[in-house]
Amino acid sequence: MLKASPLWLLVRTNALHSWRRLMAIRSQSRLLTSIIAIFVLGYLVLAFELFFYGMKFVAKFPGLGAVLTERLLYTLFAFLFALLLLSNLVISYTNLFRNRETAFLLSLPISRQTIFRWKFIESMILASWAFLFLIAPLLVAFGLVRDVPWHFYPLTVLLVGLFIILPGVFGSALAIVIGRHLDRRNFQIVLLVVALVLLAFVAFWWKTNPVDDDLLDKRTLEALDRLLAKTRFTMFPFLPSYWLSSAVLQWAEGITSGALFFAAVLLSHTLFFGTIAFTKFGNLFYDTASAVQSRGRTGKRFSFSRAAKNSRAPGALEKLFAKIPLLAPDTRALAVKDLRMFWRDTTQWGQSVMFFGLLGAYIINLRNFTHQLTSPFWINAVAFLNLGACAFNLASVTTRFVFPQFSLEGRRLWIIGLAPMGLARVVKTKYWLASTLSLFVTLGLVTLSCYLLNMSWSDVIFFGAVVTVMTFALNGLAVGLGVLFPSIKETNPNKIVSGFGGTLCFVLSSVYIIASLALLLIGNGGFHGKVDWAFMGIIGFVAISFLIGWLPLKIGLNRLKNFEA
């Protein structure tokens, strides 16, 4: 019999492990598994309906429907390519250089090229599954609107499969370069400098590009021309997203020769860069991993000398938390520890900055059309949409960062359990710290959106109170489920979130947000309802917020009494 290659053994072993975990979860709780399956199916159906009717509406524009649909696809795939590149960079860096499995594999008689190939495949899957989940209903809706033949769908699947390899290759290459030439502190400094430069550029653009208040009052063709001009960069011929979009559009229109040309361009680049990654990146990965693991500390080393003891003055975080009244020393020390660990893991706070940065850019861009919103109905509609966007963004952040916090303590949990502080106070401290930090961002973004919409102070207070309640509820849900569904043996937060508990956390968070917005809208009676309905809607919102935030946290704290690491 032919011996299986080491790469195939790694792929097969991990696939079997994932399948058995899925079957174990299914046998443990069929109800929760059914809830997640219903939610996933409901999302696919709802997303398909929205895309389908949206594209049909755009297609009705005489002479412009096809142009607008094509430009939407070009713009969507261009931004998704940028997000895929950033996601692959973050996940590849963690998976290659901050992963216990990688360190274990490097100690085995397995070639470094094989280890990199497996980690590259794993990182690409982790970074791309959400992208595939998002565009599947979009492409199906596009095909039905355009009435494409059956062979459009398998070709599109093949093209999308080739497309996601390129950001995977570029992201892993950037991760290797960053890990090789920048230590953690220098990388953080560079990232902050880049962020400050971008902020200064946005401020300069804000002052030099005043809002055209009469844009929507002009002719439709002129407004559309301005819109198409601002998205012209997405049609740059050297972008992989341009090749994918052009191949899909031309195949749908029956232009077979043009579609095959762009498909060949995408295939050739994927084969070229993929071959380089599979044959040459192994040695670069190994050298970078050695450099990362052997890199010396940048701070002062600990010494038992008197001079060293006198030099260990409290840092800025200790001084800041020391000024907070009624905060116990052990709680203060744990909060400082968690903040420092979060700051040291650049992939963690880098992703959180990306999440809230995109939302902040959207909210700031409200100034471009707030002058045309004169009806109270549309002002409230946009405000509720902003609230929903901020809440879903918060749900993503709490699921991605707050849920794994308990599991990331790892096998050290038994030591914490023996400490006088106890596991219960540790979990409570993590909850209050995460809630306070996320509230600082969400409350600021919602207040800014209300200010840009020129809303009254009573409305600002209302939306601020709603997002405050949502923040504490979503963090309570994430912390509670993190205790109920721990992954103590796993050190990669991406894998912890991808498990059953992380999926359930995001599903329940999404259901809670949808139900809350529905209650608040019904309470407003279409934004202008009676007082009784408004009171009932607010009471219902507070009730489900209390249940979704308090109940999982309470059950999790009770679970800690008999918890064994």
Same domain, 286 and 346: no
Claim: this prediction has a pTM higher than 0.85: no
Q: Which of 248, 277, 292 lies at the terminal end of a domain, its last residue?
A: 292
- Domain assignment present for 140: yes
pLDDT in tens, the chain (565 residues): 445 688 888 888 888 887 887 777 666 667 667 777 887 788 788 888 888 888 888 877 776 777 888 888 898 898 889 888 888 887 888 888 878 888 888 888 889 999 999 999 999 988 888 788 888 898 999 999 888 888 899 999 999 999 999 999 999 999 898 888 766 666 667 666 766 676 666 656 555 555 454 544 445 556 566 666 777 888 888 999 999 999 999 998 888 899 999 999 999 999 999 999 999 999 999 999 888 877 655 444 434 344 444 445 666 677 777 777 777 777 777 788 777 777 766 666 666 666 666 666 666 665 555 555 566 777 777 788 888 888 888 888 888 888 888 887 766 666 766 667 778 888 888 899 889 988 988 888 888 888 777 788 888 898 899 999 999 999 999 999 988 888 777 766 767 777 778 878 888 898 899 889 888 887 665 444 455 667 788 888 999 999 999 999 998 888 887 765 5
- Domain assignment present for 113: yes
Same domain, 343 and 244: no
Same domain, 391 and 272: no
Same domain, 141 and 204: yes
Contact (CB, 8 A) for 367 and 451: no
Q: Which domain holds residue 172?
A: 43-215+232-292
d(CA 336, CA 317): 6
Same domain, 435 and 523: yes
Would you state the structure tokens that stand for residue 364, as one six-digit string? Answer: 């700031």
d(CA 443, CA 44): 31
Same domain, 564 and 448: yes
Q: 341 CB contacts (<8 Å, ≥6 apart)?
A: none
- Domain assignment present for 419: yes
Residue 326 burial by Cβ neighbours in a 10 Å radius (0-12, 13-18, 19+): exposed
d(CA 434, CA 478): 10
d(CA 179, CA 176): 5
d(CA 190, CA 413): 34
d(CA 513, CA 26): 26
Number of separate domains in the chain: 2
d(CA 55, CA 43): 18
Same domain, 284 and 378: no
Question: What type of residue sits at position 158?
Answer: L
d(CA 293, CA 295): 6
Tell me what pLDDT residue 471 has.
94
Closest CA to 250 of 259, 242, 260: 259
Bin 325: left if φ > 0, else alpha if -120 < ψ < 50, else beta. Answer: beta
DSSP string spanning 246-302? HHHHHHHTT-HHHHHHHHHHHHHHHHHHHHHHHHHHHHHHHHHHHHHHHPPPSSPPP
- Domain assignment present for 223: no
- Domain assignment present for 412: yes
Would you state the structure tokens that stand for residue 371, as one six-digit string? Answer: 């002058």
- Domain assignment present for 297: no
Contact (CB, 8 A) for 494 and 345: no
Phi–psi pair at 327, nearest 5 degrees: -115, 120
Q: 443 CB contacts (<8 Å, ≥6 apart)?
A: 464, 467, 468, 471
Contact (CB, 8 A) for 389 and 526: no
Tell me what pLDDT residue 390 has.
83
Q: 78 CB contacts (<8 Å, ≥6 apart)?
A: 233, 234, 239, 241, 242
d(CA 514, CA 507): 11
Dihedral sign (CA 407, 411, 414, 416): negative
Same domain, 210 and 251: yes
Closest CA to 123 of 182, 177, 175, 191: 175
d(CA 54, CA 75): 16
Same domain, 540 and 407: yes
For tokens 């940065």, the residue is 357
- Domain assignment present for 147: yes
Tell me what pLDDT residue 308 has.
41
Contact (CB, 8 A) for 93 and 191: no
Same domain, 251 and 379: no
Would you state the structure tokens that stand for residue 73, as one six-digit string? Answer: 């696809």
Please compute, for residue 489, the number of CA atoms within 13 A of its CA located in the half-sphere on the CB side. Answer: 2
Same domain, 275 and 352: no
Same domain, 526 and 388: yes
d(CA 416, CA 483): 14
Q: Which of 247, 274, 292 lies at the terminal end of a domain, its last residue?
A: 292
